[in-house]
Chain A
Amino acid sequence: MAVAALPGEAGPDVDRTSLKTKLRRAERVNRARSFSLVAPLLLFVLAVFALPIGLMLVRAVENTEVRETMPRTIAALDGWDGRATPGEDVFAAFVEDLVQTQKDRTTALVGKRINYEVPGARSRFLKAGRLVDAGGGGPWREKFIAADPEWGSVEFWAIMKRAGATFTPYYLLTSLDLRQDAQGAVSRNFADQSIFVDIFIRTIWISLLVTLATLVLGYPVAHLLAILPPRHANVLMILVLLPFTTSILVRTTAWIVLLQSNGVLNDILLALNLTTERVQLIFNRFGTVLAMTHIQLPFTILPIYSVMKSIPPSHLRAARSLGAGPLTAFVSVYMPQTLPGVGAGCLLTFILSLGYYITPALVGGPQDQMVSYFVALYTNREMNWGQASALGAILLLITLALYALFNRLVGIDKVKLG
């Protein structure tokens, strides 16, 4: 680098250019060598981590069920104007598709997809499947409407047509408690299906409570660790680091043992005559926030501690010697300098809290389950992978936005472990 900055001293012109080229080439080789060290991990993370997550994001808007199982119906609906019940051509195509889905045993699958938007559609599809199986010929339009007048509904066919599109905003809208009516207008979802905004608010609220609790409990402890002589601080540091390295599952188990109604804490409360009957401490919000606070506390303490450690004690002494009272000196001289650590610790705890799953699942009640729980629920139990992916996508978006903020304010390279 220094050589390139001194062109005047490099002898004849020819040599200089060749030196420049050589240097540039050497730098390029060097850069390529550095990159080749990084590349294996980068490729590994992109292939095994980023790619699956990208595919999950696609799944949040993907809409394959109807398109793949009812191609004839979708093609026939293409020419439908959407004003009155479709004609016999659509019904005939629908019957052809149903014959196929009955054979492939996918009628229930497509019925389930339509059922998300038209309650009761799944059983109606299954009945239609049986109707088709019974045989006989057309005209099907009258037969279907006679069996169930809902088959004549314009709204139903409009939604059916929309469900044939490649992508759907349905899952993302549902995750925000919104719905799209047959005409495509977006409005609030029905009250009995509007559960997700509450869940997001609850997730953020619990994370805020946990962040605040860790700050209130952690700030003084970080200060103590920073001002004690290393000999004592190291001993006390063990009390912070041991929980930090202990498995989350072990700590959650410990809280269950402590908090359950015939658990240790209730025994103590009874023995001290603080209560006359056993208190419900677990499977509620209190237990969830308490256990999460315990798990997150070291994450908040450590960044604050490392910032406090770098503040010279002379600052406080100077403030005092200039006439500031102990409180004034602390609040106006010491505390502002600790803000970077407070920001880093709180943001880290808040980000990590948003993604909690195991702890609320084990010590929380039904009203304390956070977004992660529903992502898992819709994947495993409801088998509604579109909904699981949409909820996951929104949670991911919130997390990554905060991560970007963290990177901006703190810098991920400043994170230290132990």
Chain B
Amino acid sequence: MLAPSYATPREKLSYFIFALFCTVVFLFLIGPILVIMPLSFSSEPWFTYPLPGLSLRWYIDFFTDERWRIALQNSGIVALFATLIATGLGTLAALGLSRGNVPFAGLILSILISPMIVPVVIVAVAMFFGFAAVGLNNTYLGLILAHAILGTPFVVITVTATLTGFDRTLTRAAASLGASPWTTFRTITLPLIAPGVTSGALFAFVTSWDEVVVALFLASPDQRTLPRQMFSGIREQISPTITAAATLLVFFAALLMLTLELLRRRSERLRGTGG
């Protein structure tokens, strides 16, 4: 299938090796995730195949244990508010930057993206010192602000990407027909950039939802999030409850990926590019 029709036998062999190599890499990519999931349905607390028996006890444990329940709740609260802040500010900034007349736009963009690049431990330690001075350590607000910072680059990038193909004549047409800037934004711009905004928001949400290092530094046990609960569990002894939590997170990720793909297609359709 891969080799062109004019390929020689030797070429066909090299294509076969190439396909084999790629198969191994795909297995490497997906294998660990596939291996961990069935173990969460094991009836015994050790990690061996074949499974000694099937059971949902680790999921029951996950949903009934007070610590996991609070962690889940905290993660939800923090991720929700961090996403709202990141999406609001990030979308506005992307809209401003895309107008093409902001002075030092390149420098500003590099600053806005830098939370994605700076090692997360440095962010965590710097905020740990800085937040201590203003009493934000061990508070929900501190964790929310920190996670919002980590999420904004994703929103800026995705919304900017949607805006690069944006047809400016549409907003000008709206304005010339008498629409106020706000009406134009609400009825023309927003629907068109909505897929980018949503995928940025999803990335921001998942960034907060998965974040562990900043949570280790800034959160007290009261704000313990899901990844932090998992982290302390892994440090001591991996319990099957952690594999249950991990499996739920993988499903969450799959759902997210599916949504992003649908959004990408919708965005392409709206902008009239691609299929």
A residues sitting closer than 8 Å to B (CB atoms) are 27, 30-31, 34-42, 44-46, 48-53, 55-56, 59, 217-218, 220-221, 224, 227-228, 236, 238-258, 260, 262-264, 267, 294, 297-298, 320, 326, 351-352, 354-355, 357-358, 362, 372-373, 375-376, 379-380, 385, 388-389, 392, 395-396, 399-400, 403, 407, 412-413, 415-418
Contacts and interface: CB of A to CB of B under 8 A. Distances in A.
B268 to A, nearest CB: 12
Interface stretch (B54-62, B65-73, B170-178, B245-253): B245-253
Contact of B93 (A42, A256, A354, A380): A42
Contacts of A385: 129
B172 to A, nearest CB: 13
Contacts of B21: 220
Specify which of B123, B146, B235, B256 lies most central, judged by the most chain A CB atoms within 10 Å of its CB.
B123
A239 B249 contact: no
Contact of B22 (A53, A220, A375, A403): A220
Contacts, number: 277
B129 A55 contact: yes
B35 interface: yes
A50 B230 contact: no
B35 A257 contact: yes
B149 A254 contact: no
A55 B35 CA distance: 44
Contacts of A39: 96
Nearest to A271: B49
A392 B36 contact: no
A245 B216 CA distance: 21
Given A34-B100, A250-B253, A355-B121, 14 more contacts: A34-B102, A49-B123, A55-B129, A56-B125, A217-B28, A242-B254, A245-B206, A246-B249, A248-B210, A252-B234, A253-B234, A264-B35, A358-B231, A399-B118
Contacts of A396: 118-119, 122
Interface in B226-270: 227, 230-231, 234-235, 238, 242-243, 246, 249-250, 253-254, 256-257, 260-261, 264
B125 A41 contact: no
Contacts of A239: 26, 29-30
Contact of B49 (A238, A243, A264): A264
B28 A245 contact: no
Nearest to A43: B89
Contacts of B166: none
B131 interface: yes
Contact of B111 (A50, A51, A241): A50
Interface string B106-127: 0011111111011111111111
Interface string B58-101: 00000000000000000000000000010001101101110111
Contact of A253 (B127, B243, B260, B264): B243
B243 A372 contact: no
Contacts of B246: 247, 249-250, 253-254
**Most chain A CB neighbours (cut-off 10 Å) among B14, B49, B89:** B89
Contacts of B22: 220-221, 224
B256 A245 contact: yes
A357 B25 contact: no
A236 B243 CA distance: 25
B111 A399 contact: no
A218 B26 CA distance: 10
B103 interface: yes
A52 to B, nearest CB: 3
Given A45-B111, A395-B119, A35 B231 contact: no
